[in-house]
Amino acid sequence: MRAVAVGLALSLLAGFASAQSLQLTAADGSQRTLSAAALAQMPHEDVTLNDHGKAVTFRGVPVRALATSLGAPEGEALKGPALATVILVTASDGYRVVLGLAEIDPGTGARRAILADSVSGAPLDAHQGPFRLVVDGDKRPARSARNVVSVAIKTVN
C-alpha cells in the first residue's frame, strides 16, 4: 500500500517535471531535455500576438536561438539542401506547427518567432503554458501553439 502511494507520488512528480520542460530534437536526431529554468536563462525577446484583434505581448526565447543550439544551419550555410530544414513544434494535445528555418532566420526571411515563457511579467497559465509559440506578424493566432512540449529540427525529404 505504502509502495503504491510512493509510486503514485513519484509519477505525479515526474509528470509535473516533464510539463515544466521541453523535449528537444537536434538536426542529427539526438534528443535532450531543456528545463523551464534553463530556458529562462537564455536571452529573451518580446513578440506581440494578434489574439482575435487584441494585441498581447509575450516574452520568450527566439526559435532561431533554439534551432542554432540544436545544430540547424545558419549564415552562409543556409542555402541549397539546408533550405528544406523545418522546425516542428508540438503541443501536449498533439497540435503541431511547422516553421521553415529560412523564414525565421535573421539573414533570410527575418520573421521573428519566440517560444514564450511569460506574458506581462508573469509565467504563462496552465491554459497556454508553460511555453507558447508566438510568431510576429501573424494575422490570426492559429500558429500560436499553446502548451508546447517539444521542438524538433527536421529536414523535409
Ligand X SMILES: Nc1nc2c(c(=O)[nH]1)N[C@H]1C(S)=C(S)[C@@H](COP(=O)(O)O)O[C@H]1N2
Q: Which residues bind Mo ion (CB under 5 A)?
A: 142
Assess contact for 44 and 38: CB atoms under 8 A: no
> Rule CB under 6 A: is residue 98 a binding residue for ligand X?
no
Residues 118-137 within binding reach of ligand X (CB under 6 A): 128
Distance CA 99, CA 97 (A): 7
> Rule CB under 6 A: is residue 150 a binding residue for ligand X?
no
Using the contact rule CB under 6 A, the part of the chain among 11-19, 25-33, 60-68, 91-99 near ligand X is: 91-99
Nearest distance, CB of residue 142 and ligand X, angstroms = 4
> Rule CB under 6 A: is residue 141 a binding residue for ligand X?
yes
93 binds, among Mo ion, ligand X, none (CB under 5 to 8 A by kind): ligand X
The three three-digit cell numbers of residue 139, written as one number: 494575422
**Which of 134, 145, 149, 152 touches ligand X (CB under 6 A)?**
145
- According to DSSP, residue 84 is labeled G
Nearest distance, CB of residue 24 and ligand X, angstroms = 18
> Rule CB under 6 A: is residue 95 a binding residue for ligand X?
yes
3-state helix, strand, coil in the chain (%, to 5): 30, 40, 35
**Backbone torsions φ then ψ of 58, nearest 5 degrees:** -105, 160
Nearest distance, CB of residue 142 and Mo ion, angstroms = 5
* C-alpha distances in Å from residue 8, one per residue of 5, 15, 18, 92, 142: 5, 10, 15, 21, 36
Q: Which residue has the cell 527536421?
A: 154
> Rule CB under 6 A: is residue 47 a binding residue for ligand X?
no
Chain residues that interact with ligand X, rule: CB under 6 A: 91, 93, 95, 128, 141-142, 144-147
